Structure 1
Amino acid sequence: MKLKFHLPILLSLFFAGGVQAQELSLNQLLDAALKNNFDVQAAQLDEKKTNARIDEVKSNLLPSVTVQGDYRRYIKIPGQVVPASAFGGPEGTYTTLAFGLPYNLSTTAQVTQALYNPSVRYALKAANLNRELTSLSTVKTKEDVAYNVTDAYYNLVTVVQQMAFLDSNLLSLDRLYKVSDLLYQNQLGQRVDKDRIMINKTTTETQLATLKDNYQQLVNLLKFYTGTPQSEPLRIAVSVSEVMLPSGSGFDEKRRTDVMLLEKQRELNSLQDKNIKAGFIPTVNAYGTANLTYYGKGGEYSTFQQVPGYWAGLQLNWSVFDGYARKAKRRQNEIDNDKLAVQLKQVSQSIQMEEANARNKFSVEQRNIDAKKEQVALADRVYKQIQLQFKEGVVSLTDVIQAENSLLDAQSNYLTSLVQILKAELEWKKATGSLIAKE
């Protein structure tokens, strides 16, 4: 089914304060929102942050270099207890000797390279998965923004359509009031008829003023969604066409971003389990150290001597027993995996329900809206005919008011169906993951 409205939006010029501004369609509003919306910008910054974290994880694959310096001024050089016999003393006695000089300056540089550490490999894979998760989160944010923009736009469509109805009704009431006033002036009508028309006219004007305020609020909301400053004018091109759903079902649930997010989380959960198991495996690091120490002494026999030292080695780290901490972590990971499986089933059934409900709702309103549109046209013809008969004195004002009420009811029913069919299309797009174009 196709609904086409190309309504004249004169009110948009009024709300723009007479300033010319570009008139945006729904697609243009969506493009602006997906580019300028604050939530989208924040999500994109999260992506950049995730990329920076990946660089941090990659750094574990590269060698690390540390440099340390140590300066000591011994007020009293610490001594060591040694056998006195080593220096010609009696057996079984000990003496204390102090080795070294009071001034010590030591500089050490060490290079360490991980030779075997499976946790680093799994951490890198997890970081790449996190990048995909963050990217999907950005897509989810864009979908939410697209939903909000489209919902606000459809609300704007119904408000504008309602204002168009009220504008037309107000013109009819103006003409009717002039006729009743003329009849009253010529003593062919009653003042009460004139007053009753004025009451209806005032009521319609009040409703129109309220709708204008609603219109402005929706425009301001669209400004917020699209990142447009509230001080800038924004004109909306209200035009709805091609409102229709494809026949049949059978859409791919994996188009839903929340499904893809859960699947990526399960992949990440699997990597975390492998990383936990890798904790049972020893790690090997290679390292090389260069040390340069200076010893000094002041006074009459002052000296300053340099003592270099260089060595390399392999370091094995193996956590043989951790108090069953890894076992507990793996159990928690299994529970998280089971929970993700349940959530996937829940989301799958929810998607099927949302799609079916939206399709059924659309089907019902699709059958109703054409009939309701014809009812509006018929009620409008009847209302105009009754007005003409009232001018000719054939019918009473009561008949005119009844015809007007019938027209208002027909218009209200049509607007209700219009809202429902637009919202059904929006809910269907949400259920099938087609709110935005997927790459």
Structure 2
Amino acid sequence: MKHKPITRLLVLSFLLLCWGQALRAQERPAYSLQQLTDSALKNSHTLAAKDWQIKERSARVDEDKIKKYPSVTVNGNYLHNFVLDRITIPAGTIGDIPLSPGNNVLLPNTDKTFKVGKYNTYLAGVSVYQPITQQLKINTGIEADKQDRALAEKEKQKASLQVRLGVEKLYYGALIARKKMEEAQAKLELARTQLDDVESALLAGKSIQANRSGLQADVADQEQNILKLQIQLGDYVSDLINLTGIGADSLDLAEAEPLPYTVDPAQAYLNAAMTGNTDLQMANITKSKALLGIKAAKQANLPDLGVVGGYMYQSGNSILPTNNPYVGLSLKWNLQDLFSNKAIEKQRVAQARQADENIVGTRQQLTADVEKAYRKVQESLALITVAQKAAAFRRQEMKTLVDKQAAGLVLKQEFLSARSQLARSESDLYAAQLSYRLAVADLNYLTGQ
């Protein structure tokens, strides 16, 4: 009697623990496809890196724009001279003064030596250079930088579409695996019921051992199938957690939202792909960049002509002026560039031809991919129509058996067999519906939506 309160306390604690775990399981939210997609886009390191790449190329555009404006150089210098130059004026260099006949005084009367400059010399100045002929090349370089930035933006858009498509494939794959598990559970229950009936018949001497072994194998097969589906579902969920960055050991998936079974004509998707596909847009940007390279190579043949001006202050040299403002023109022309630019131009022309071939190949592959995805959509719609009919017939059959079971007119094995067939037809319908969603997702990816 002393142990009854303790036993009751242990039982109560166990019940409270189980109840708490059940509540926590109920409180765990079920994630929809949109929530998973938003989380994946938010936590994607690839997209974050693309954002920084876009900022880097925007800064490069700003850097090249500065080259259009005058460049200002400030310089200063200090020198300590240990030896100063000397200027000697010989006697009589200036002339002579006749004081009396035969008596001339030389100017200067003796050699005069003067030190030029000072031991400490200071130089300071500012110079301004405004390029003129290089403006064309600078503008072309800015346009090329903008093409690089546009290419990075398209790469980010493509990465974003890939993240969306990856989440959708994992999400729908997990839902299909979960639905197939329901079908496998129904088959397992039917196989166990059949095995129980056979074992009962064996005890009564009404069956043979071969039937029992076959049903035991069926039970083992269904258990193995369920285990495979559990592993597959766990892999899908694990990949979703890794892709979305959701901090959880596991997550529940909400059912897919209804999607209308209507599609546009195939030509509409082809037209959309030719304008919205990121791979094709990136190929066109690469072609534009190659043409700008040809233009820049031709502009590089121009001499570098510009306006130069400035101001210089010096102290320590008596010959040079202390303050010296100046203005003029500057011309630099490396004639060797006239020959090397020809080779560079040939390289850029080859790059443009490569871009042309890439565009043609991308269009051909894109057309084939869109047509393939569109066929999958049509095939999925046909499968959905057939699967809906089969599921409707199975539901009607199940409704009839439920009524008979209530009246005691149907065996349990027959009822479980019908329920297993219904689970299979519903699983086939569900798989067809999700296959349609995946095909639509492929079309949206190819068209850049």
> TM-score, normalised on structure 1?
0.74
Indicate if the aligned counterparts of 2:37 and 2:164 stay in contact, CA closer than 8 A: yes
Which string of whole-angstrom CA distances, capped at 9 and with x for unpartnered residues, describes residues 278-315 of structure 1? 1222333333323233339xxxxxx9x99333322222
What's the CA shift for 1:98? 7.9
AA in 1 matched with 2:241: K
2:149 maps to which residue? Answer: 131
For residue 281 of structure 1, give the secondary structure of its aligned residue in structure 2: coil
What's the CA shift for 1:323? 5.0
What's the CA shift for 1:416? 7.5
For residue 27 of structure 2, give the secondary structure of its aligned residue in structure 1: coil
Please, which moves more after superposition, 163-172 or 311-320?
Answer: 311-320
What's the CA shift for 1:256? 0.9
Structure 2 residue corresponding to 1:146, chosen from 147, 150, 164:
164
Please, which moves more after superposition, 51-60 or 268-277?
Answer: 268-277
Q: Residue 111 and residue 214 in structure 1: after superposition, are their counterparts in 2 closer, same or farther (change >3 A)? A: same
CA RMSD of aligned residues (A): 4.4
- The reply on whether 1:428 has 2:438 as its aligned counterpart is no
Structure 2 residue corresponding to 1:47, chosen from 42, 54, 61:
54
Q: Residue 287 and residue 404 in structure 1: after superposition, are their counterparts in 2 closer, same or farther (change >3 A)? A: same
Which string of whole-angstrom CA distances, capped at 9 and with x for unpartnered residues, describes residues 352-392 of structure 1? 1112222223333432444356557878969x99xx9xxx9
For residue 202 of structure 1, give the secondary structure of its aligned residue in structure 2: helix
CA distance in 1, matches of 2:393, 2:155: 50
Larger of the two Rg values belongs to structure: 2
The 5-angstrom pairing of residues 260-409 of structure 1 reads 260-295=281-316, 307-372=322-387
What's the CA shift for 1:273? 1.9
What's the CA shift for 1:163? 1.1
CA distance in 2, matches of 1:79, 1:244: 100
In the alignment, structure 1 segments of 5+ residues that lack a partner are 1-13, 89-95, 297-302, 435-439
> TM-score, normalised on structure 2?
0.73
The 5-angstrom pairing of residues 182-331 of structure 1 reads 182-185=200-203, 188-189=206-207, 193-194=211-212, 196-229=214-247, 231=248, 233-239=250-256, 241-242=258-259, 244-251=262-269, 252=271, 253-295=274-316, 307-331=322-346
Indicate if the aligned counterparts of 2:162 and 2:445 stay in contact, CA closer than 8 A: no
For residue 238 of structure 1, give the secondary structure of its aligned residue in structure 2: coil
Structure 1 residue corresponding to 2:191, chosen from 141, 149, 173:
173
What's the CA shift for 1:196? 4.1
What's the CA shift for 1:216? 1.9
Which string of whole-angstrom CA distances, capped at 9 and with x for unpartnered residues, describes residues 242-301 of structure 1? 2553234233211111111122222222222222221222333333323233339xxxxx
Q: Residue 271 and residue 78 in structure 1: after superposition, are their counterparts in 2 closer, same or farther (change >3 A)? A: farther
Please, which moves more after superposition, 59-68 or 256-265?
Answer: 59-68
Indicate if the aligned counterparts of 1:25 and 1:239 stay in contact, CA closer than 8 A: yes
What's the CA shift for 1:97? 10
Q: Residue 147 and residue 417 in structure 1: after superposition, are their counterparts in 2 closer, same or farther (change >3 A)? A: same
Indicate if the aligned counterparts of 2:183 and 2:427 stay in contact, CA closer than 8 A: no
For residue 125 of structure 2, give the secondary structure of its aligned residue in structure 1: strand
The 5-angstrom pairing of residues 19-34 of structure 1 reads 20-34=27-41
CA distance in 1, matches of 2:300, 2:74: 29
The 5-angstrom pairing of residues 111-126 of structure 1 reads 111-116=128-133, 117-126=135-144
In the alignment, structure 2 segments of 5+ residues that lack a partner are 1-20, 95-112
CA distance in 1, matches of 2:186, 2:93: 121
For residue 268 of structure 2, give the secondary structure of its aligned residue in structure 1: coil
Q: More helix by proportion, 1 or 2?
A: 2
Q: Which runs of 4+ in 1 moved over 6 A?
A: 82-88, 376-382, 402-416
State the identity %.
Answer: 18
For residue 267 of structure 2, give the secondary structure of its aligned residue in structure 1: coil
CA distance in 2, matches of 1:83, 1:361: 104
CA distance in 1, matches of 2:353, 2:85: 62
Which string of whole-angstrom CA distances, capped at 9 and with x for unpartnered residues, describes residues 143-166 of structure 1? 121221222222212211211211
Please, which moves more after superposition, 276-285 or 174-183?
Answer: 174-183
What's the CA shift for 1:122? 1.4
Structure 1 residue corresponding to 2:121, chosen from 86, 104, 126:
104
CA distance in 2, matches of 1:379, 1:180: 26
What's the CA shift for 1:139? 0.9
Q: Residue 138 and residue 78 in structure 1: after superposition, are their counterparts in 2 closer, same or farther (change >3 A)? A: farther
Q: Residue 189 and residue 314 in structure 1: after superposition, are their counterparts in 2 closer, same or farther (change >3 A)? A: same
For residue 109 of structure 1, give the secondary structure of its aligned residue in structure 2: strand
AA in 1 matched with 2:288: E
CA distance in 2, matches of 1:110, 1:64: 8
What's the CA shift for 1:346? 1.0
Q: Residue 351 and residue 324 in structure 1: after superposition, are their counterparts in 2 closer, same or farther (change >3 A)? A: same
For residue 18 of structure 1, give the secondary structure of its aligned residue in structure 2: helix
Indicate if the aligned counterparts of 1:279 and 1:319 stay in contact, CA closer than 8 A: no
1:9 maps to which residue? Answer: none
2:109 maps to which residue? Answer: none
Indicate if the aligned counterparts of 1:19 and 1:233 stay in contact, CA closer than 8 A: no
AA in 1 matched with 2:283: L
Q: Residue 83 and residue 334 in structure 1: after superposition, are their counterparts in 2 closer, same or farther (change >3 A)? A: farther
AA in 2 matched with 1:275: A
